[in-house]
A and B are shown apart, each in its own frame.
Chain A
Amino acid sequence: MKNKKAGFNSNTILLLITIGLFIVLYAGGCIAYGYKGFTHLQTFLNILITNAGLICVACGLTLVMLTAGIDISVGALVAMDCMMLAVGMRSGISAPVMMLLVLVVGVAFGCLQGFLVGYLQIQPFIVSMAGMFFCRGMTAVISTEQVSITESISKIFYDLANMKIIIPFGGYANKKGMIMQPYIRITVVIALIVLVAIFLMLRYTRFGRSLYAVGGNATSAAMMGLNVKAIKMKVHVLCSVLASIGGICYCLNTMAGSVTQATGLEMDAISSAVIGGTLLTGGVGNVFGTFFGVLINGTISSIVKTNGKLASSWPNILTAILLFVFIVIQSIFAAVRRRSK
């Protein structure tokens, strides 16, 4: 046992820092804005509701990043999904069919990107940049105006979006003395299912482990008999499908399709993953960390919103500062690890 290094490994420390940061931020919010209702359970649930789509997208992106890849097309894909849903349902196609269609498009789009990255060995950044252009443009091709989804357009979708799932505890009395029961939306349930499913997939399936292997050392992975090209392709398909699921969640929140929707969502997802301890160099990371990354982003937005006086750009700046801190910490850890060898 003499070769074994004592203590935690650096990745666990990063995850702990992330979770600690979330708790500190949230506690800070509770202390500062407790009088505005920040302490209510609903505030936390609202963070989940607002970011349900982002959780799905970020999970997918985490998978791609594990293989040392990147996919910046996801935000645009979400916008295209929303637009497809809105326009499709407006023209009379039923909601379930449209949702299925969105997923199929996700698969097809992922296949194309995955082929270019895996088999033609084009840099993932360039491929997904083109993918981003394509999806944004296609969104506009479908419709250049904002299309709202109303009850008359699709009853099913409308009901789905407005369905409240009541949580039986944590209620509070509002100013009028009415008991407010905290609730979540269906999107949160979808997001949490996705989160758990991906977590289990990463831990308990061959494919999940092979993602870490490819990201850790693609040459080694190939020498150990893994089909690296196919794995890269599959992970892009999975990422696009998860982004499409995220797109449906996003649409259930916004109930509209528009060209400018979800701009910068890919960067929110990337920063969430990085803050959650996923290395952009691949091989290290976990959707659990990403989840906390999303929560941190959400908490910052929520605090800024609750404050009401801070400029709207503060969440972006704070997230960027966090991103900076985490990237520098990661690079220091990497340097320490190199030196210790």
Chain B
Amino acid sequence: MEENVVLTARGISMTFPGVKALENVDFTLRRGEIHALMGENGAGKSTLIKCLTGINDFEAGEIHIEGVNGPVKNHSTREAQNVGISTVYQEVNLCPNLSVAENLFIGREPMTKLHTIDRKSYNVRSQKIMDELGISVDVTQNLENYSLAIQQMVAIARAVDMDCKVLILDEPTSSLDDEEVEKLFVLMRRLRDQGVGIIFVTHFLEQVYAVCDRITVLRDGHFVGEYPIADLPRVKLVAAMMGKDLNDLEEIHKESLDVKNAALEISAKGLSHTGTVKPFDLDIHKGEVVGIAGLLGSGRSELARSIYGADKANTGTLEVGGKEVKINQPIDAMHLGMGMLPDDRKAEGIIADLSVRENIILALQAKKGMFKLLSRAKQEEIADEMIRTLQVKTPTRETLIKQLSGGNQQKVILGRWLATNPDFLILDEPTRGIDVGTKAEIQKLILKLAGEGKSILFISSEISEMLRTCSRMAIMRDGEKVGELDHELTQENVMKAIAGGEQES
């Protein structure tokens, strides 16, 4: 093993039913470095981490850890902790109803001679640990009394106190504000200087450049490369993540539709949702396809959700078709002719135990109201039409939707919204986890719908697909709409806009 290396993973491969999640991925972590693991959705970051922490059972490859002879294969988080790998997740895996000290020591409390917990001793020891790490807390207080940032630091302290060599931070900053993030970074640097190897997973580019020493990029389950931070400026990082080398970017020209003169369909002014998206303005004309570009966690989904009422907007006004409207919940938006295909298909899209037919007619039925049940014949007609036009591969229309493949499930949800004949359709990552052929079909469908005069808000991690369909793009970064691009829509321009200023890198 190379000097200073605490963890190496070589040739890791892993398949989920139907998907190759990781293929021959390498990863190397050195002592005393903060190593960013980057990649878009489905790139395989969390799969790789789960392989390291024993949650996933990888098929091929070897993991070596300093101080352990031979390859290591963990079967539980407990085993991973024993060889020195600890993980801190975005949702803190601690018990909020216990004190800070207890959270540090649960399951390994110092005991008195009477086999009772030595409360005094562990309170003192906990306070010492926290003081040493520069975290100012009263360890006897319940964890829930502290902010999420502090809770995260307690989780880190627990990991560190358990002699971890490898600390994995999986999107720890997603729900922290700037000040809290800075505190976390101070702690991370301190640990790095103590010789801990830290794997840092985040979607915030700024943070990568603020704190990391090295970057490994994954894409579609493949290892793209490992770079020292200085060798990989933002634009190159975005390119590596998105899968286009800047050098061979082909210019894709899109005929600009003359939509500027068309009537306004949606006009948002100062709309915001506390904690997820800062106030933004957005106009969408009839027959226009507007894209929202930005990395995951940039507020791109949240922007759409605040228009649709999935997260009720806290501020601002919204006009639909020229009239100011108030949207409290999705059904209000639906009555105004909107529809939304959410990005998390499983949690917010499909009703798993209902049939394809029921899933298709659900929104239309909700719009009509409980007492105006669509006749069975009408339901079947609509379902059959959607199955035909969208080419849903399903044994029958009565098959439960959970039995279909991801792509076909997505088509069914799309069918659900097309059945309501919306004027304005929000599509959040409609092509995620879908095969290439279906992707193309969905893109064609988007253009066709726009041709029929419908307005579409399109969100995707793949810039190329937005370039093909959108006439204008709103750029999101860190919960804020930072600009719009409506001419010279090229991959390079969009990536630059997403990545933001080069001043810090």
> Do A and B contact each other directly (Cβ–Cβ < 8 Å)?
yes
Where the two chains meet, the residues of A that have a C-beta atom closer than 8 Å to any C-beta of B are 1-5, 9, 200, 203-206, 209-210, 212-213, 215-217, 219-221, 223-226, 283-284, 337, 341
A209 touches B109 (CB 8 A): yes
Residue B23 lies at the interface, judged by CB distance under 8 Å to chain A = no
Q: Which of B90-98, B356-364, B451-459, B464-472 contacts A (4 or more CB under 8 A)?
A: B90-98
B148 touches A204 (CB 8 A): no
Q: Report the minimal beta-carbon distance from A278 to chain B, rounded to whole angstroms.
A: 12
B 136-164 to A, binary, CB cutoff 8 A, 1 in contact else 0: 11100110111111100000001000000
Number of residues in B with C-beta < 8 Å to the partner?
A: 33
Interface residues of B in 59-102 (CB under 8 A from A): 77-78, 81, 92-98, 102
B78 touches A225 (CB 8 A): yes
B93 touches A224 (CB 8 A): yes
> For B119, what are the chain A residues with a Cβ–Cβ distance below 8 Å?
203-204
A3 touches B137 (CB 8 A): yes
Question: Cα distance A4–B147 when bound, in Å?
Answer: 8
A217 touches B147 (CB 8 A): no
A216 touches B96 (CB 8 A): yes
How many residue pairs at the A-B interface have CB separations less than 8 Å? 82
Residue B257 lies at the interface, judged by CB distance under 8 Å to chain A = no
Q: Known contacts being A204-B119, A210-B107, is A219 close to B97, with CB within 8 Å?
A: no
Q: Known contacts being A4-B145, A223-B77, is A284 close to B97, with CB within 8 Å?
A: yes
Residue B117 lies at the interface, judged by CB distance under 8 Å to chain A = yes
Q: Known contacts being A4-B137, A9-B145, is A283 close to B95, with CB within 8 Å?
A: yes
B95 touches A204 (CB 8 A): no
Question: Cα distance A341–B148 when bound, in Å?
Answer: 8
Q: Known contacts being A4-B141, A4-B145, is A226 close to B77, with CB within 8 Å?
A: no
Complex partner residue of A209 from B94, B106, B115, B145, CB under 8 angstroms: B106
Q: Report the minimal beta-carbon distance from B310 to chain A, rounded to whole angstroms.
A: 18
B109 touches A206 (CB 8 A): yes
| Known contacts A219-B93, A224-B107; 13 further A-B pairs (Cβ under 8 A) | A1-B136, A1-B138, A2-B136, A4-B138, A205-B115, A206-B109, A209-B109, A212-B97, A213-B98, A213-B102, A213-B106, A217-B94, A225-B81
Q: Which residue of B lies closest to A214 (CB)?
A: B95
B 115-135 to A, binary, CB cutoff 8 A, 1 in contact else 0: 111010000000000000000
Complex partner residue of A3 from B107, B147, B158, CB under 8 angstroms: B147
Q: Report the minimal beta-carbon distance from A297 to chain B, rounded to whole angstroms.
A: 26
Would you mind naming 13 contact pairs between A and B with Cβ atoms under 8 Å apart?
Answer: A4-B145, A203-B117, A205-B116, A206-B117, A209-B102, A216-B98, A220-B92, A221-B95, A224-B158, A225-B81, A225-B108, A226-B107, A337-B144
A225 touches B107 (CB 8 A): yes
Question: Cα distance A211–B95 when bound, in Å?
Answer: 11
Question: Cα distance A142–B96 when bound, in Å?
Answer: 47
> For A223, what are the chain B residues with a Cβ–Cβ distance below 8 Å?
77, 93
Question: Cα distance A283–B98 when bound, in Å?
Answer: 8
B117 touches A217 (CB 8 A): no
B109 touches A283 (CB 8 A): no
Q: Which residue of A lies closest to B135 (CB)?
A: A3
Interface centre among A3, A205, A210 (most CB of B within 10 A): A3
> For A283, what are the chain B residues with a Cβ–Cβ distance below 8 Å?
95-97
> For B136, what are the chain A residues with a Cβ–Cβ distance below 8 Å?
1-3
> For A212, what are the chain B residues with a Cβ–Cβ distance below 8 Å?
95, 97-98, 102
A9 touches B117 (CB 8 A): no
> For B109, what are the chain A residues with a Cβ–Cβ distance below 8 Å?
206, 209
Nearest first, the 5 closest Cβ-Cβ pairs linking A and B are A216-B95, A204-B116, A216-B97, A283-B97, A220-B93
Q: Report the minimal beta-carbon distance from A51 to chain B, rounded to whole angstroms.
A: 28
